[in-house]
Amino acid sequence: MEQALATIVKPLPAHLFRVHDGSAEMRWEAMAGQGYHTPIDRFFVRNHTYTPNIDPTTWRLRLHGPGLRCPGEYTYDQLRAMPSRTIDAAIECAGNGRRLYGTQQHNPAPGTQWGLGGIGVARWRGVPLRYLLQHAGLRRDAVDLLPSGLDAPFEDHGHVRRPLPVGKAMDDVLVAYEMNGQPLPPDHGFPVRLVVPGWVGIASIKWLGDIEVATRELTSPWNTVFYRDVTTQPVKSAFELAWNARLMAGRPYILHGRSWSGQGRIVRVEVSIDGGRSWHQAEHHGRHLVSAWLPWHIEWAPKPAGAYELMARATDETGVTQPLTTPHHPFGYHFGAVVRHPISVVHG
Ligand SMILES: Nc1nc2c(c(=O)[nH]1)N[C@H]1C(S)=C(S)[C@@H](COP(=O)(O)O)O[C@H]1N2
Ligand SMILES: [Mo]
C-alpha cells in the first residue's frame, strides 16, 4: 500500500480504486452514472515502476533508426502545433480479469490479480503517428518501431518498450498529449503517450521518449518475455455494480454495464440473472464506437431474496461471443469469459 501510493501521483480513494502493488484498478461501481468516458480521477493506472516527473520544456521526442530518411527531435510545442486528431479509445491491460482465472475457473494465474477494472475509455487528442512518421521520412522498407518510455528501467530489462509493426503505426495510432480535454496527467504519460486502439495496454507506451524505426523485426522483453503472443483484446463485459452489491427485493432496477472488444464494435449484449439458463437482450444507449465500449442497460426487479450471479455476454461485429469459460493462459492474459458477478438481493 505504502509503495503503491508512492508510485502513483493522483489520489487513489478506496471507493474508486483497488490498489495492487504499483497499479490501481478502477472499481466498476465508479462508472455508475458517469458519461461515456472514464473520468481521470477513476481511470486505472498500471505502472511497471513509478510515475516520473518530466519537464515538458526540456523533453524531446526523438525519432531515429534506419527506417527513417530524416530522423530528428520534436519539442512539446512542435507536437502541439501539428495537425491533431481526437479519438475515443479504450486502454485495457492484457491482464485485466486475471483474478477470475482463479475465482471463477479455479485455475489461478500468477501476476497482478486484476478484477475487471483494468480498463478505461478516454477522449485522446494528439498527432497521428502516421503524420509524424511521414514527417520524419518513413522508408518503404521500414518494418517495426520501438517506442520507449522515460520511466525508470524495469528490473534489469531497461526502459519499458515494445515493438509496434509499421502497419499498425500507420493505421490508427495516436501520439497523445491530451486526455478528456486536459493535458495528459502525470500517471497517464505526461507529456506524451501512445494510444494504440484495440491492442493490449502495454502497446500504449507512456512517457514516450523515443521511437526507433527499424528495417527488420524487433524484439524487447515486452514481446518475448512479458505480454508474449498477445496483440488485441478479447470481448468483455462488466456491470457498473460493486462486487457483492446488495439490491432490494421487489424494487425495480435498471442494471447498467458496458461491453468492449479489441476487434470491432459490439453488436449485441445479453444478460442472464439465472446462471445462464435464460438470456435477455440488453438495450444499448449512447455511442457505438470501435475501439471503445458500448454502454447498455436492462431492467430487473429482483425477487426473491438470496444470492445471485449476474452475467453479461457480448458479441462483436466479427461474430465473436464471450464464451462461458476461457482457455487457461499461463500468464493470465485474455480473460474473455462471461463473468459471474455476485450480488445479494435482500428484503427492503
Ligand atoms: N512507459 C510505460 N508505458 C506503459 C507502462 C509502463 O509501465 N511504462 N505500462 C503499460 C501497461 S502494462 C498498460 S496496461 C498501460 C496502462 O495505461 P494507464 O496507466 O494510463 O491506464 O500503459 C502501458 N504503458
Ligand atoms: Mo498492462
Instruction: Give residues with Cβ within 8 angstroms of 174, minimum separation 6.
Output: 85, 87, 89, 124, 125, 126, 127, 128, 129, 194, 195, 197
The angle subtended at Cα 43 by Cα 40 and Cα 24, nearest 5°, is 130
Rounded distance from Cα 204 to ligand 1 centre (Å): 6
Rounded distance from Cα 162 to ligand 2 centre (Å): 12
User: What pLDDT is recorded for position 348?
Assistant: 78
Question: Buried b / exposed e across 137-170, counting CB within 10 Å, b at 16+?
Answer: ebbeebbbbbbbbbbeebeeeebbbbbbebebbb
Instruction: Give residues with Cβ within 8 angstroms of 4, minimum separation 6.
Output: 12, 19, 20, 21, 22, 23, 24
Which of 129, 124, 125, 117 lies closest to 92 in space, CA to CA?
117
Is residue 145 within 8 A of residue 169, CB to CB? The reply is yes
230 lines ligand 1 (CB under 6 A): no
Residues lining ion ligand 2 (Cβ < 5 A) are 46, 93, 201-202
Phi, psi of 199 (to 5 degrees): -95, 165
Is residue 38 within 8 A of residue 92, CB to CB? The reply is no
pLDDT (tens, 9 = 90+) of the chain, 348 residues, equals 444 447 999 999 999 999 998 899 999 999 999 999 999 999 999 999 999 999 999 999 999 999 999 999 999 999 999 999 999 999 999 999 999 999 999 999 999 999 999 999 999 999 999 999 999 999 999 999 999 999 999 999 999 999 999 999 999 999 999 999 999 999 999 999 999 999 999 999 999 999 999 999 999 999 999 989 899 999 999 999 999 999 999 999 999 999 999 999 999 999 999 999 999 999 997 777 889 999 999 999 999 999 999 999 999 999 999 999 999 999 999 999 999 999 999 997
203 lines ligand 1 (CB under 6 A): no
**Number of the ligand closest to the Cα of 47:** 1
Rounded distance from Cα 293 to ligand 1 centre (Å): 19
Rounded distance from Cα 98 to ligand 2 centre (Å): 11
DSSP letters, 34-72, are: --SSPPGGG--B--SS------TTT--EEEESTTBSS-E
Domain ranges of the chain: 17-224, 236-346
98 lines ligand 1 (CB under 6 A): no
Q: Which atom belonging to ligand 1 lies closest to the Cα atom of 46?
A: 19
Instruction: Give residues with Cβ within 8 angstroms of 76, minimum separation 6.
Output: 56, 57, 59, 177, 191, 192
184 lines ligand 1 (CB under 6 A): no
Give the C-alpha separation, 335 to 337, whole Å.
6
User: What pLDDT is recorded for position 285?
Assistant: 78
186 lines ligand 1 (CB under 6 A): no
| CATH number for domain 236-346, candidates 3.40.50.1820, 3.40.50.970, 3.40.605.10, 2.60.40.650 | 2.60.40.650
Question: Buried b / exposed e across 179-194, counting CB within 10 Å, b at 16+?
Answer: bbeeebbbbbbbbbbb
Is residue 164 within 8 A of residue 173, CB to CB? The reply is yes
89 lines ligand 1 (CB under 6 A): no
Q: Strand 61-64 relative to strand 72-74: parallel, antiparallel, unpaired? A: antiparallel
Task: Write the residue with the smallest CA distance to atom 12 of ligand 1.
Answer: 202
| CATH number for domain 17-224, candidates 3.90.420.10, 3.40.50.300, 1.10.274.10, 2.10.77.10 | 3.90.420.10
**Number of the ligand closest to the Cα of 25:** 1
User: What pLDDT is recorded for position 232?
Assistant: 94
Cα torsion 325, 330, 334, 339: sign? positive
93 lines ligand 1 (CB under 6 A): yes
Give the C-alpha separation, 295 to 259, whole Å.
7
Phi, psi of 3 (to 5 degrees): -65, -45
**Number of the ligand closest to the Cα of 45:** 1
Rounded distance from Cα 43 to ligand 1 centre (Å): 12
Rounded distance from Cα 310 to ligand 1 centre (Å): 30
User: What pLDDT is recorded for position 22?
Assistant: 85
Is residue 29 within 8 A of residue 240, CB to CB? The reply is yes
Is residue 205 within 8 A of residue 160, CB to CB? The reply is yes
Most ligand 1 atoms within 8 A of CB, residue of 119, 202, 228 to mutate: 202
Which of 23, 74, 79, 31 lies closest to 49 in space, CA to CA?
23
